[in-house]
């Protein structure tokens, strides 16, 4: 992580790093409304889509050329229209991870609300504690805005589980190829404000 931040500091200007950080920080909370999931995410458009080979049963191995991510392969039994790649997007939905452990982001589901931290605490309550908690908390070192932005960009560079969505006639999206995890390599240090599209998509 530190090595990646050092490389980014040498190639990503401060203003551009802060711009990327701002795009991600202003994303609203995920929510359900009008029978749709309004999902904040980072979007990567598919430029080309093709079938690499047939697998067992009805499954096919697809390969996609994706903006900023390069070549992505995935397996699915879905019949995807390879002649319409512009309708497909891969998305990075793990915004809380990108923002980092101190983001304090709350996700709202339906009428109630519960923070990610609260959800993790509930899971921890059900687990057995195998470690001794320290008596004194270690103070978190203070970092400047530029370093904090580079930390966020470095998390974008890490591999992540992507969702594949296809755009519908009315502009909403539907998830496809959901049988298996689609792991992509991330952006590594190839991150600029031009290849980061942070937005909210409506998913049926």
Which pLDDT tens digit goes with each residue over 183-197? 998 887 778 888 899
* Long-range Cβ pairs for the range 110-113 (8 Å, 24+): 110/32
Give pTM, 2 decimals: 0.77
The larger pLDDT score, comparing residue 24 to residue 141, is at 24
The reply to whether 75 falls in a domain is yes
Instruction: Select the highest-mean-pLDDT range: 35-44, 117-126, 129-138, 141-150.
Output: 35-44
Q: Is residue 186 part of a domain?
A: yes
Closest CA to 105 of 181, 44, 26: 26
pLDDT for residue 202: 97
In a domain, 59, yes or no: yes
- Does residue 61 sit within a domain? yes
118, part of any domain: no
Reply yes or no on whether the pLDDT at 132 is more than 80.
no
- Give the C-alpha distances (Å, rounded to integers) separating 60 from 49, 56, 108, 175: 12, 8, 36, 17
SS3 36: strand
Place 7 in a pLDDT band, splitting at 50, 70 and 90.
Answer: confident
Total domains present in the chain: 1
- How confident is the model over 127-141, as a mean pLDDT? 51
In-domain check, residue 192: yes
Question: How confident is the model over 28-49, as pLDDT tens digits?
Answer: 999 999 899 999 999 999 999 9
- Name the pLDDT band for 155 (thresholds 50, 70, 90): very high
Q: Which residue range is the domain that position 184 belongs to?
A: 2-101+142-203
Comparison of pLDDT for 150 and 54, the residue scoring more: 150
Instruction: Judge whether 126 lies within some domain.
Output: no
């Amino acid at each position: 992580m530190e090595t990646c931040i050092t490389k980014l500091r040498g190639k990503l200007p401060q203003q551009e790093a802060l711009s990327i950080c701002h795009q991600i920080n202003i994303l609203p909370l995920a929510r359900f409304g009008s029978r749709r999931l309004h999902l904040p995410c980072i979007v990567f458009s598919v430029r080309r889509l093709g079938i690499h080979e047939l697998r067992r049963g009805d499954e096919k191995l697809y390969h996609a050329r994706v903006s900023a991510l390069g070549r992505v392969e995935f397996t699915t039994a879905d019949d995807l229209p390879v002649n319409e790649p512009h309708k497909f997007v891969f998305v990075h939905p793990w915004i809380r991870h990108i923002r980092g452990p101190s983001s304090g982001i709350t996700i709202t589901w339906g009428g109630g609300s519960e923070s990610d931290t609260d959800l993790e605490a509930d899971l921890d309550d059900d687990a057995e504690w195998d470690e001794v908690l320290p008596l004194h908390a270690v103070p978190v070192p203070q970092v400047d805005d530029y370093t904090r932005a580079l930390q966020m960009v470095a998390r974008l560079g890490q591999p992540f589980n992507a969702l594949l969505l296809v755009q519908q006639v009315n502009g909403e999206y539907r998830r496809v190829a959901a049988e298996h995890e689609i792991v992509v390599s991330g952006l590594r240090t190839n991150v600029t404000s031009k290849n980061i599209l942070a937005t909210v998509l409506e998913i049926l």
